[in-house]
């Protein structure tokens, strides 16, 4: 099979051939249906401590654009539904070719124009790859933020300004060391949905504690257009790099908010 992608001939409907877990019972993304979620008063706010990076790359891997510091950069996530400390690995985006589509998770069936994923791995593992293969939903913790079109996002501007430099698949640039990743996050990481799920791209491993924030982040129309200029491995616009929602089966979605 051609390498996986989001086109007719290699998109989500084909992924089960190489990754049979695609039809598993803990797949992501899902539609977050407010009438079916359950408030959990035990869910605390999350604490993300992101330290400045000396040598981080921003890259186009053919199916997303991704910010990736060198391993062991000391940025950590704790709290919320997490029992242990998780190390930051990378963040990346999923988006559409217009403002009516693009996010992976949905809220009562509504899609946002884009979704930002901050990927972290359980620090009781020796590496990210071990955490992916560790079995069970505590290998990774991914923070999902919906993006909607509005005011310019000053914290993301250093990243969206780099997009033209990684227009083509397989390209990367060094991110200026004064980039402040912490500034992207809202001041308090309080209102979120959380559930046990999977990677939303191959290998689709069911190793993710998903934490999806209720409050979208805003980006300007120009910042959204920057994403839509990115080209994938087949030389086509990368927009549409989102997996449709998967069945919930007998999973519960908990919320930290009423
Ligand atoms: C052993 C190599 C595994 C690489 C898995 C890389 C990956 C990370 C996060 C996501 S996402 N969209 O669920 O956040 C998808 C894929
Ligand atoms: Zn993702």
Which ligand places an atom closest to the C-alpha of 90?
1
Confidence band, pLDDT 50/70/90 cuts, at residue 48: very high
Q: Which residues of 203-221 are buried (b: 16+ CB within 10 A; e: fewer)?
A: ebbbbbbbbbbeebbebbe
**Taking all residues of the chain, what is their mean pLDDT, rounded to a whole number?**
97
Other C-beta atoms closer than 10 Å to the C-beta of 120 total 27
Which ligand places an atom closest to the C-alpha of 143?
1
What gap in Å lies between CA 239 and CA 237, rounded to an integer?
Answer: 5
Q: Which residues surround ligand 2, an ion (CB under 5 A)?
A: 117
> Which of 119, 120, 196 best tests ligand 1's pocket when mutated (most atoms within 8 Å of CB)?
119
pTM for the model:
0.98
CA of 117 to the centre of ligand 2 (A): 5
What gap in Å lies between CA 57 and CA 170, rounded to an integer?
Answer: 12
CB of 248 closer than 6 angstroms to any ligand 1 atom: no
Q: Helix (H, G, I), strand (E, B), or coil: what is residue 113?
A: coil
CA of 94 to the centre of ligand 2 (A): 6
Which atom of ligand 1 is least distant from the CA of 142? Answer: 14
> Which residue's CA is the closest to the ligand 1 atom numbered 9?
199
CB of 199 closer than 6 angstroms to any ligand 1 atom: yes
CA of 203 to the centre of ligand 1 (A): 7
Give the model confidence (pLDDT) of 100-116 as tens digits. 999 999 999 999 999 99
The torsion angles phi and psi of 119, rounded to 5 degrees, stand at: -100, 130
> Which residue's CA is the closest to the ligand 1 atom numbered 7?
199
What gap in Å lies between CA 46 and CA 49, rounded to an integer?
Answer: 10
ipTM of the complex: 0.99
Structure tokens given for 92: 């990346």
Give the model confidence (pLDDT) of 157-201 as tens digits. 999 999 999 999 999 999 999 999 999 999 999 999 999 999 999
pLDDT at 216: 98
Nearest to 145 by CA among 75, 193, 101: 193
What is the CATH T-level fold of the domain 26-255, as seen in this structure? Carbonic Anhydrase II (3.10.200)
Element (H, E) at 216: none
CB of 142 closer than 6 angstroms to any ligand 1 atom: yes
Annotation says 120 is catalytic? no
CA of 239 to the centre of ligand 2 (A): 13
> Which residue's CA is the closest to the ligand 1 atom numbered 1?
129
* Residue of 14, 16, 63, 117 with catalytic role: 63
> Which residue's CA is the closest to the ligand 1 atom numbered 13?
199
Q: Report whether pLDDT(46) > 90.
A: yes
CB of 43 closer than 6 angstroms to any ligand 1 atom: no
CB of 129 closer than 6 angstroms to any ligand 1 atom: yes
Give the model confidence (pLDDT) of 59-97 as tens digits. 999 999 999 998 888 999 999 999 999 999 999 999 999
What gap in Å lies between CA 27 and CA 21, rounded to an integer?
Answer: 8
């Amino acid at each position: 099979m051609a390498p996986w992608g989001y086109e007719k001939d290699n998109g989500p409907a084909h992924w089960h051939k190489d990754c049979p877990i695609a039809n598993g019972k803990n797949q992501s993304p899902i539609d977050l249906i407010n009438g079916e979620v359950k408030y959990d008063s035990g869910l605390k706010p999350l604490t993300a401590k992101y330290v400045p990076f000396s040598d981080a790359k921003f890259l186009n891997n053919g199916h997303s654009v991704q910010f990736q510091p060198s391993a062991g950069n000391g940025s950590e996530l704790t709290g919320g539904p997490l029992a242990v400390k998780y190390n930051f690995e990378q963040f990346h985006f999923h988006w559409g070719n217009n403002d009516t589509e693009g996010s992976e998770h949905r809220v009562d069936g509504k899609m946002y124009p884009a979704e930002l994923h901050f990927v972290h791995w359980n620090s009781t593992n020796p590496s990210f790859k071990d955490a992916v293969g560790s079995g069970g939903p505590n290998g990774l913790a991914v923070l999902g933020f919906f993006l909607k079109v509005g005011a310019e996002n000053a914290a993301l501007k250093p990243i969206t300004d780099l997009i033209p430099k990684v227009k083509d698949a397989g390209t990367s640039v060094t991110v200026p060391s004064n980039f402040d990743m912490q500034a992207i996050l809202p001041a308090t990481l309080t209102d979120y949905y959380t559930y046990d799920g999977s990677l939303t791209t191959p290998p689709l491993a069911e190793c993710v504690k998903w934490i999806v924030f209720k409050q979208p982040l805003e980006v300007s129309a120009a910042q959204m257009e920057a994403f839509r200029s990115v080209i994938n491995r087949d030389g086509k616009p990368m927009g549409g790099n989102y997996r449709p929602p998967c069945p919930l089966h007998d999973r519960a979605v908990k919320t930290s908010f009423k």
